Amino acid sequence: MNVSLIIEMAQEIRALIGALKFSKLPPIPNTWLFPCVESTMRIFHFLSVCLFANSLLLSAGTASAQWSELLKDEDTSYYYDKAAVMPAHVSRYAWVLTDLPKNDKTPNGESYKSMMMRVRMYCKTDMVVRLSVSYFEKAMGKGKEVAADDLQEWRNREAPIRPNTYMAALKKEVCSASGKPAA
């Protein structure tokens, strides 16, 4: 989601709440039949404002990844989310999307067409750790997530980054990006 869109929405919500704060509710007769109507109306008014603000936030849509192509071999395509790369000392966290030419099976036996993997790339040592994998029924991470495997980072084993693979292409992209130290 665009940061300027979020700021603009927050300003609109702030203006709306400010306008409602200074507006007066119409006078409600306080009869012996309905002694708590005014407080109930104030609660209803507050809840309706909250519901409206929440619907504004939800209508803006969810943030989605901007996938950049890493490598294409045979019919399999590899992408990474450039905006989601997070530096952590001499390593980088990144999301990798793999699109397969035909359906494959998860370890559980579910059929999937694409998978998203979260990795930690060690730029100085040419090693990578797989942190999380999600399998999707459609290409480009669309459709239902049919299986997921989240691993504890401290229990994972580092694997070497082999030359001329999509992991080598990912290392080149995320470890030598502008403003970040190269390996």
Q: Would you kindly state where each structural domain of the chain is located, as residue ranges?
A: 3-59, 67-175
Q: Which fold has domain 67-175?
A: Lipocalin (2.40.128)
Q: Look at residue 112 and give its three-state secondary structure.
A: strand
Banded model confidence at residue 183, pLDDT cuts 50, 70, 90? very low
Alpha carbon distance 159, 74 (integer Å): 24
pTM: 0.60
| Per-residue model confidence as pLDDT tens digits over 48-82 | 555 555 554 444 434 467 888 888 888 899 999 98
How many Å from the N-terminal Cα to the C-terminal Cα in the chain? 31
Give me the chain's average pLDDT, please.
76
Banded model confidence at residue 108, pLDDT cuts 50, 70, 90? confident
| Per-residue model confidence as pLDDT tens digits over 109-142 | 889 999 999 999 999 998 999 899 999 999 999 9
The residue behind tokens 């979260």 is 118
Query: What residues have CB less than 8 Å from 170, skipping those under 6 apart?
Result: 70, 78, 80, 94, 96, 119, 121
